[in-house]
Amino acid sequence: MTRTFRIGQIVPSSNTTMETEIPAMLRAREALHPERFTFHSSRMRMHKVTKEELEAMNKEGLRCAAELADARVDVMSTACLVAIMAMGRGYHREVERDLTAVARANQCLAPVMTSAGALVHGLKTLGAKRIALMAPYMRPLTDLVVDYVEHEGIEVQDSICFEIPDNLEVGRRDPMQLVEDVRRLNTQEVDAVVLSACVQMPSLPAIQIVEDALGLPVISTAVCTVRQMLENLGLEPVAPGAGALLSGKYPVLQKR
């Protein structure tokens, strides 16, 4: 009997990408593997990507976790990287603990994760020590993301930010533009490239193209989120056309 897994996401109200790219990767996986997936979201209000709006949005996360718990999802993840990273180093661990407590209080046993933690986990799965990344945020928020990643032991050699404050505009950006944008990024001697450090900036169609051109692993936060979702579900972490991290080349890290 084919099992169907319920994917739960806590999504900013203006995010239009995580409910398209996550399903796209898992639908592609369905063509090769027997497992099936359904997708369920709860939303937090947010329009502008500013520290003030991100702080206000984070307060709604516990409500969203309770709502997804009611659907008895099989895995639960936040879907906003910068909202976590802007709150301070290592903050994804605190959020994961708080959301897990709410899920358990509402009789849901699903593993709980964050897209911010997933990016860190994905980079460590690749064994990346030095990276370059691109993000749509204003420079001060991008600098917070860089600091957060470096605090996790991964050097950020170069970063490009497109400084788009309106979250809807971020979601409308042509992902194939990243194929040109990456040429301005210093990728010499890096172990991996984060093509989109933002879950709202579309990148999936460009991931494999850029990876093939650069000859090194290329990821996005969305790709890392799928990787950790599959690991948490106990499934083989593979999906075609999504780059090295979901190619099957990299084994699951042993939990410490």
Q: Is 161 a catalytic residue?
A: no
Closest CA to 45 of 58, 31, 33, 27: 58
Give me Rg for the CA atoms of the chain. Answer: 17
Percent over 70 (pLDDT), the chain: 96
How far is the C-alpha of 209 from the C-alpha of 193, rounded, in Å? 13
Catalytic residue among 64, 80, 161, 224: 80
Packing angle of the helix pair 91-105, 61-70 (nearest 10 deg): 40
pLDDT band at 84 (very low <50, low <70, confident <90, very high): confident
Domains of the chain: 4-115+222-246 (3.40.50.12500), 117-221 (3.40.50.12500)
What are the structure tokens assigned to 21, written together? 């790219």
Residue 110 near residue 8 (C-beta atoms within 8 A): yes
* Contacts of residue 225, Cβ cutoff 8 Å, sequence gap at least 6: 18, 22, 77, 79, 113, 115, 118, 199
Q: What is the distance between the alpha carbons of residues 191 and 19, in angstroms, rounded to a whole number?
A: 29
Contact 235, 4 (CB under 8 A): no
198 is catalytic: yes
3-state secondary structure 204-216: HHHHHHHHHHHCC
Q: Which of 3-17, 42-56, 178-192, 194-208 has the lowest mean pLDDT?
A: 42-56
Of 64, 161, 198, 224, the catalytic one is 198
CA 105 to chain centre: 26
Calculate the alpha carbon distances from 14 to 54, 154, 169 in Å.
12, 30, 10
pTM of the model: 0.95
Q: Lowest-pLDDT range, 23-27, 28-32, 60-64?
A: 60-64
**Per-residue pLDDT tens over the stretch 154-212:** 999 999 999 998 888 999 999 999 999 999 999 999 999 999 999 999 999 999 999 99
The residues, ordered by sequence, that sit 6+ positions from 87 with a Cβ below 8 Å of its Cβ are 54, 55, 58
